[in-house]
Structures are given as C-alpha cells and as structure tokens.
Amino acid sequence: MGKRIDVKDLNVFYGDFKAVEGVSMTVEPRSVTAFIGPSGCGKSTFLRTLNRMHEVIPGGHVQGKVMLDDEDLYAPGVDPVAVRRTVGMVFQRPNPFPTMSIRDNVIAGLRLNGVKNKKVLDQKVEESLQGANLWNEVKDRLNKPGAGLSGGQQQRLCIARAIAVEPQVLLMDEPCSALDPISTLAIEDLIGKLKEQYTIVIVTHNMQQAARVSDKTAFFNLEATGKPGNLIEMDDTQQIFNNPSKKATEDYISGRFG
C-alpha cells in the first residue's frame, strides 16, 4: 500500500490568477512529507491538486502532470471522484458530518459509495477507529453524534473516516492548527503509525512538528503578494532544518523571514 507521487512542472490557477508555479517533486511511498512556508504561498492550493480537490473551487485548474505510480491523475477520462477515493484528505478544521453518529461518520465514505453489507461496515468501523487511535475512547458511544467529541477526537474521527475508504495517500492540510498541544501530540503519534501503510503529505505551520513527523520537507515561498508561489527546495527533513541549501529557507526556518 501507499503509492509514489510524481509531480512535474505543475502550475495551478484560480481563474486567471496563477497561484502556484512550476512545482516538480517526488513523494516516496510510505513516507511523511511536510510542506512549510509562509501563508498564502500556495501550500494548500498545491496539496489540493494531488487529489483534484482544487476543482471544486470555481475556476480552479492546473497545467502539468501529477503521476500516482504510473497513473496520470489528469489524463483525460480519469474521474476526479475516483482520484479522491485513492487520495484521501484531512482538513484544518475537524469537519465530522453533524447529522451522523460517530459510527456513521466513519463509514460515510463507504456507505455513500454503495457499500451496504453490515458485517463489512461494522468491521470497518472498528478497524478504522483503531487505526486512528480513537477506538478505546469512543467504542462505548458509537451511536452518539460525532460533533459531541472534543476537537482532537473529532480530528482523529476525520482521519478514521478518511482511512476507512482505504486510500493510498493521505493529504493533511494543517491538521493540528485548530487543536491543543495534547491533541496535537496524539495526531503526531498517529501520523507516525499511519506512514507504515500510507503515503502522507502534511502542510504545517509548526516547524517542530515538521521536524518531528516528516521524512522530507518541502519549503514553499512567494516573491510578493499577487505573485505565484514556488517550491524553493525539498530535501530530507534533517538536511532542510540543519543545512538548507537556499538562503530563503534558512531565513524562514530561523525566523528571520521577511
């Protein structure tokens, strides 16, 4: 499980506005890659192109290539809906479905994709919640609303929901920025466990977090507001934090940015 992502010369647009320019990178299977960089440099935008979520924003479109192993995500005839089943996503703010119970939230993706078998679903509930380190906390209240959990639990519920559809890749856009430190730690632990099975890409504003959880780090920047964001460099996390090759990276990491 876990597929390799290969991006080549990717430009991302919102209508006429070019938000991200010329990104090429390779993400190894079953690794954690962190995206860092100042706000507005296009990290989220770029992340969303990896499962074509940018297309739900009016005017969002790309030029370039994104390969998942040997499949081109943007080849004609590829259905973005199928892409998103293969490349899952977790968002900044936990967003469990408010009308559904914890159990129904976990299996929402399966249900909505037509899986009806109760045995399969029950098994999947436990498996996914175990996978998201949440099972012990919620196993007694699976039929309670998901919105009743704490923020950190909600976020792990969202992760359980994402892995229940058995994706190959998991994209996380600042998954901890709305959480307290304890919940953040729980998610970081979870990421360490998930990378045994999934390819993980995480956007974070927290340098320590990037340093703690990721194998590779990519630094994005933009020259000025209104200009597109670029990938400045991408390397082993150790390398980026200890000995970056670009001055901009060093400035950003050491807080001398701007």
Partner 1 sequence: MSLDVKDIPASEAGDLGGIDHGKSGIRVLKNNIATVLIWAAFLIALIPLVWILWTVLSKGLSTILTVTWWQKDQSGVGAPGFDTNVRGARHAIIGTLEIAAATSVIAIPIAVMTAIYLVEYGRGKLARGVSFMVDILSGVPSIVAGLFIYAVWVTFFGWKLNAFCSSLALVLLMVPVVCRSTEEMLKLVPNELREASYALGVPKWKTIVKVVLPTSFSGIVTGSLLGFARVAGETAPLLILAQYTQFLNYNLFSGNMAALPTLINVNVPNMAGDQVSADRVWGAACTLILLVLVINLLGRLIGRLTRVKS
Partner 2 sequence: MSSSTGASLSDELPDPDGRPPLRGDDANTGRAGDKVFGGLAIGSGIVVIAMVVLIAIFLLFQAIPAIGDDKVNFLTSREWNVSGRRFGILQMLWTTVVTSVVALIIAVPFAVAIALFLTHYAPRWLAGPAATVIDLLAAVPSIVYGLWGVIIVAPKSEGLQNWLSDVLGWFPLFAKVPSVGGGTTMFLVSIVLAIMVLPIVTALTREVFSQAPAAHQEAALALGATKWEMIRTAVLPFGKPGIISASMLGLGRALGETVAVLYILSALPDSSKWTWSLFNGGDTFAAKIANSASEFTGGTSTGAYIAAGLVLFILTFVVNAVARVVIERRKAFSE
Ligand X SMILES: Nc1ncnc2c1ncn2[C@@H]1O[C@H](COP(=O)(O)OP(=O)(O)O)[C@@H](O)[C@H]1O
Question: Alpha helix (H) ranges present in the chain?
Answer: 43-49, 80-86, 102-106, 108-112, 118-131, 135-138, 151-164, 181-194, 207-213, 237-242, 247-253
Distance CA 145, CA 10 (A): 40
- Binding status of residue 136 toward ligand X by CB under 6 A: no
**Contacting partner 1 within 217-236 (CB under 8 A):** none
Residue 104 CA to residue 223 CA, distance in Å, equals: 45
Residue 109: contacted member of Mg ion, partner 2, ligand X, none (CB under 5 to 8 Å, by partner type): none
> Which of 13, 34, 44, 89: binder of Mg ion (CB under 5 A)?
44
Q: Given the complex with partner 1, which of 19 and 90 has the nearer CB atom?
A: 90
By a kind-dependent CB cut-off of 5 to 8 A, residue 124 interacts, out of partner 2, ligand X, partner 1, none, with partner 2
Contact call for residue 43 and ligand X (CB under 6 A): yes
Joined together, the tokens standing for residue 191 give 């990421």
Q: How far apart are CA 237 and CA 33, in angstroms?
A: 9
97 binds, among partner 1, Mg ion, partner 2, none (CB under 5 to 8 A by kind): partner 1
> Whole-number minimum distance, CB 63 to ligand X, in Å?
15
137 neighbors 160 (Cβ within 8 angstroms)? no
> Would you say 37 or 244 has its CB closer to ligand X?
37
In the complex with Mg ion, the residue whose CB is nearer, 52 or 124, is 52
Binder of ligand X out of 2, 13, 25, 45 (CB under 6 A): 45
Instruction: Tell me how far, at minimum, the Cβ of 222 lies from partner 1, in Å.
Output: 24
Contacts 24+ apart (CB under 8 A), 134-142: 134/160, 138/102, 141/102, 142/101, 142/102, 142/103
* Residue 164 burial (C-beta neighbours within 10 Å; 0-12, 13-18, 19+): buried
Residue 62 sits in the site that holds partner 1 (CB under 8 A): no
How many residues belong to the site for Mg ion (CB under 5 A)? 1
Residues binding Mg ion (CB under 5 A): 44
Residues binding ligand X (CB under 6 A): 14, 17, 19, 37, 39-45, 57
